[in-house]
Amino acid sequence: MTQKDIIRIVQEQLTVDLNCRLNDLNSDKDVFVFTKVKDNPGRRPFPRDERHFEMATMGRATVISASPCILDVIKPMLEGKNRDEGFSMPFVYGHALCHLPDLKAVKPANPPQGFEYEIVEKSGMQELYAVKGFNNALAYDLHRPRPDVLAYLAKKDGIVIGMSGASADSATMWQVGIDVLPEFRNHNLAAYLVSQITFDILGRGYVPYYTTSVSNIASQRVAHRVGYSPAWACAYKGKFEGFETAPAC
């Protein structure tokens, strides 16, 4: 898999998720592209309700996919605005930064000493769910549409103290999450566990991606140390309560 392959796969997935065209994502113009939300086959199955709103940009144009009643309200509000102003609108909520591995930068990391390590496949997830407190790495639900499929564990004296996990978000993309217990941070465990699972996912032919909130600097530093780079920004929820023109769908 090359870097171009990774970008192509992600862009193709985003066009399915956002019900847009490839040219919309690749546009070099700072414009808004509005699309009606649609449950296209193969979309990443994140929850949606009848008043759905999400937006994403890979650098210039911003694609907004929403329910028709939402589009009717926000189109005039965004008229004449640029991308940064759009992401700062009061109804935009859940800002996230999505990272992809830079194949020129990612490299295997050395395991921090003094810990034991273990790989858990999907078949072992139910047993792993007995280990609580790693909610960024695991969903603790094998029956959800984006199942946990892989985990790398760090242990101290047989006790799990760190974990990277992967969920199968689509047929081509697996999302990486990481948790390290507070008392075991600053040992480079997070970067090591994310590095290990990243190479494993790539080796299986899937695209790993790593998402953080824009305010989670510590998590972004982990991504950077491993060799991930920002690829797209998104907002996954709209807050319309309290607006005089709050849409009733």
- Could you give the CA distance from residue 146 to residue 37 in angstroms, rounded to a whole number? 20
- Tens place of pLDDT per residue across the chain (249 aa): 899 999 999 999 999 999 999 999 988 899 999 999 999 999 999 999 888 999 999 999 999 999 999 999 999 999 999 999 999 999 998 999 999 999 999 988 899 999 999 999 999 999 999 999 999 999 999 899 999 999 999 999 999 999 999 999 999 999 999 999 999 999 999 999 999 999 999 999 999 999 999 999 999 999 999 999 999 999 988 888 766 555 666
Name which CATH class applies to 116-226: alpha beta
Domain spans in the chain, listed from the N-terminal domain onward: 3-98+234-238, 116-226
DSSP H/E element including 203: helix 189-203
Per-residue pLDDT, 174:
98
3-class secondary-structure state, position 236: strand
- Could you give the CA distance from residue 52 to residue 242 in angstroms, rounded to a whole number? 17
- Could you give the CA distance from residue 137 to residue 116 in angstroms, rounded to a whole number? 18
Structure tokens at 158: 């047989």
Kindly report the CA angle at 45 between 232 and 196, in degrees rounded to 5?
60
How do beta strands 116-121 and 148-156 pair? Answer: antiparallel
Say whether pTM exceeds 0.85.
Answer: yes
